[in-house]
Amino acid sequence: MTTEKHKMIAGAPYQAADPELVADRLRARQLCHAINHAAPEAAAELQALQAQLLPGQPASVHITPPFHCDYGYNITLGEGAYFNFNCVVLDGAPVRIGARTLCAPGVQIYTASHPLSPTERATGIELCLPVAIGEDVWIGGGAIICPGVTIGDGAVIGAGSVVTRDVPPRVLAAGNPCRVIRALPQ
């Protein structure tokens, strides 16, 4: 039988109140709390905590606290990926972020979604859709990346944008909703 965790990661409807998922979220919150309250000069402690939260990540990944996520284990970061202050990743589904991608302060990446029907929402059923962000992407401050979005290599997302649809490689995209403004030079 498939667990609620497997359903969640696979993008199938799942029960968010499942005890295993509740425990996983608590663990991630505890690690985020420890990361967010580590002394700024305690680089080794911070790196060890981040390795627990985001297992298997390259040592070149940098996260400036505070940082928040739902699980941590669904986030994959490439070499030199960077999160600035106050970033949030709701990682019920896989979130893949390429090498050298920069997230400015307040960037929010969401995989979580809820049924449109209030009756169905009341059952606690949720759905998560993966997010994929390519290499060498720059996401401006306060941008929101919605569930199921893919952002191509080398793209730039303007500050405050709400990205509801895929963004092709090497373009400047901005706005609410986010739209392509122009192509970027190679």
Encode 125-173 in three state secondary structure: EEEECCEEECCCCEECCCCEECCCCEECCCCEECCCCEECCCECCCEEE
Kindly list the strands in the beta sheet with 179-183, ordered across the sheet, starting from the edge strand earlier in the chain.
Answer: 62-63, 82-83, 102-103, 138-139, 156-157, 171-174, 179-183
Torsion of CA 162, 63, 84, 99, to 10 degrees: -60
Residue type, 66: P
Q: Which of 72, 136, 68 is nearest to 98 (CA)?
A: 136
Band the pLDDT of 186: cuts 50, 70, 90.
confident
pLDDT of 151-165, one tens digit each? 999 999 999 999 999
pLDDT of 165-183, one tens digit each? 999 999 999 999 999 999 9
Average pLDDT, the chain: 96
CA distance 62 to 78: 11
pLDDT of 25-79, one tens digit each? 999 999 999 999 999 899 999 999 999 999 999 999 999 999 999 999 999 999 9
User: What is the per-residue pLDDT for 116?
Assistant: 92
- Phi and psi based region of residue 110 (left: phi greater than 0; alpha: psi -120 to 50; beta: remaining): beta
Q: Is the pLDDT of residue 1 over 90?
A: no
CA 81 to chain CA centroid, Å, is 12
Q: Quick one: which H or E segment has residue 77?
A: strand 75-77
CA distance 93 to 170: 25
Q: Is 105 exposed, middle or buried (0-12, 13-18, 19+ CB in 10 A)?
A: middle
Residue 139's contacts (CB-CB under 8 Å, 6 or more residues apart) are 101, 102, 103, 104, 107, 133, 145, 151, 157
Residues with catalytic function: 114
The proportion of the chain whose per-residue pLDDT surpasses 70, expressed as a percent, equals: 99
User: What is the per-residue pLDDT for 75?
Assistant: 98
Mean pLDDT of 121-134: 96
User: What is the per-residue pLDDT for 149?
Assistant: 98
